Chains A and B, each alone.
Chain A
Amino acid sequence: MCLSIPARVDEIEGNSAICTVGNSSYKASLELLTPDEVQVGDYVLIHTGFAIQKLDEVDAMETLKTFNDFKTLNEQMDQEEKDNNTHLI
Chain B
Amino acid sequence: MKYIDEYRDKGLVRLFAEEIKKISTKHVKLMEVCGGHTMSIQKFGIPDLLPSTVELISGPGCPVCVTSRGYIDQAIAYCRLADVIIATYGDLIRVPGSTSSLEKERALGADIRIVYSVLDALIIARENRSKKVVFLGIGFETTAPGSAAAIIKASMAGLRNFYVYSAHKVMPPAMEALIDEGVQINGYLGPGHVSTITGEKIYYDIPKKYGLGVVISGFEPVDVMQSILMLVQQIESNQPKVEIQYTRVVKPEGNIKAQQMLEEVFEPRDDWWRGLGVLKDSGLKIRENYQTHDAEKMIEVVVEETIEPKGCICGPILKGIKKPKDCKLFGTVCTPSDPVGSCMVSNEGSCAAFYMYNR
Q: Which A residues form the contact surface with B (CB < 8 A)? A: 1-4, 6, 8, 21-22, 29, 31-34, 43, 45, 47-50, 52-53, 55-56, 59-60, 62-64, 67, 70-71, 73-74, 77-78, 88-89
Chain B proximity of A6: nearest CB distance (Å): 4
Contact B49 A63 (CB under 8 A): no
B1 at the interface (CB under 8 A from A): yes
Contact B11 A74 (CB under 8 A): yes
Q: Collect the chain B residues with CB atoms within 8 Å of residue A70's CB.
A: 11-12, 15-16
Q: Collect the chain A residues with CB atoms within 8 Å of residue B348's CB.
A: 1-2
Stretch at the interface among B140-148, B278-286, B310-318: B140-148
Contact B143 A34 (CB under 8 A): no
Question: Contact partner of A52 among B36, B89, B196, B256, CB < 8 A?
Answer: B196
Question: Contact partner of A56 among B153, B248, B261, CB < 8 A?
Answer: B248
Stretch at the interface among B100-108, B113-121, B300-308, B327-335: B113-121
Q: Collect the chain B residues with CB atoms within 8 Å of residue A63's CB.
A: 247-248
Q: A2-B34, A32-B258 are in contact. Are A60 and B1 (CB under 8 A)?
A: no
Considering only CB atoms and an 8 Å cut-off, how many residues of chain B contact the other chain? 54
A59 nearest CB neighbor, chain B only: B247
Count chain A CB atoms within 10 A of each CB in B116, B255, B261 and give the residue with the most: B255
Q: A1-B91, A89-B49 are in contact. Are A74 and B2 (CB under 8 A)?
A: no
**Given A2-B142, A53-B255, A78-B11, 8 more pairs with CB closer than 8 A:** A1-B89, A2-B140, A32-B257, A48-B143, A56-B249, A60-B3, A60-B247, A88-B18
**6 cross-chain pairs, A with B, having the tightest CB-CB distances, nearest first:** A49-B117, A60-B248, A74-B11, A6-B3, A59-B247, A1-B89
B225-257 at interface with A (beta carbon < 8 Å): 247-251, 255-257
Contact A49 B118 (CB under 8 A): yes
Q: Collect the chain A residues with CB atoms within 8 Å of residue B250's CB.
A: 53
Q: Collect the chain A residues with CB atoms within 8 Å of residue B251's CB.
A: 53, 56
Contact A32 B145 (CB under 8 A): yes
**6 A-B Cβ contacts within 8 A?**
A2-B142, A2-B348, A29-B119, A31-B149, A47-B146, A48-B118
B346 at the interface (CB under 8 A from A): yes
Contact A32 B2 (CB under 8 A): no
Q: How far is the CA of A8 from the CA of B49 in the complex (A)?
A: 32
B141-187 at interface with A (beta carbon < 8 Å): 142-143, 145-146, 149, 153
Q: A56-B248, A59-B247, A59-B248 are in contact. Are A6 and B2 (CB under 8 A)?
A: yes
**Dominant SS among interface residues on chain A:** mixed
Contact A32 B15 (CB under 8 A): no
Contact A52 B255 (CB under 8 A): yes
A54 nearest CB neighbor, chain B only: B249
Q: Collect the chain A residues with CB atoms within 8 Å of residue B91's CB.
A: 1
Q: How far is the CA of A36 from the CA of B117 in the complex (A)?
A: 23
B121-152 at interface with A (beta carbon < 8 Å): 138-140, 142-143, 145-146, 149
Chain A proximity of B65: nearest CB distance (Å): 11
Count chain A CB atoms within 10 A of each CB in B2, B3, B18 and give the residue with the most: B3
Chain B proximity of A43: nearest CB distance (Å): 6
Q: Collect the chain B residues with CB atoms within 8 Å of residue A74's CB.
A: 11-12, 14-15
Question: Contact partner of B149 among A3, A6, A29, A60, CB < 8 A?
Answer: A29
Q: How far is the CA of A4 from the CA of B118 in the complex (A)?
A: 15
Question: Contact partner of B146 among A3, A6, A48, A56, CB < 8 A?
Answer: A48
B197 at the interface (CB under 8 A from A): yes
Q: How far is the CA of A55 from the CA of B6 in the complex (A)?
A: 15
Q: A56-B249, A77-B15 are in contact. Are A2 and B35 (CB under 8 A)?
A: yes
Contact B143 A1 (CB under 8 A): yes
A74 nearest CB neighbor, chain B only: B11
Chain A proximity of B42: nearest CB distance (Å): 14
B338 at the interface (CB under 8 A from A): no
Count chain B CB atoms within 10 A of each CB in A3, A29, A43, A52 and give the residue with the most: A52
B196 nearest CB neighbor, chain A only: A53
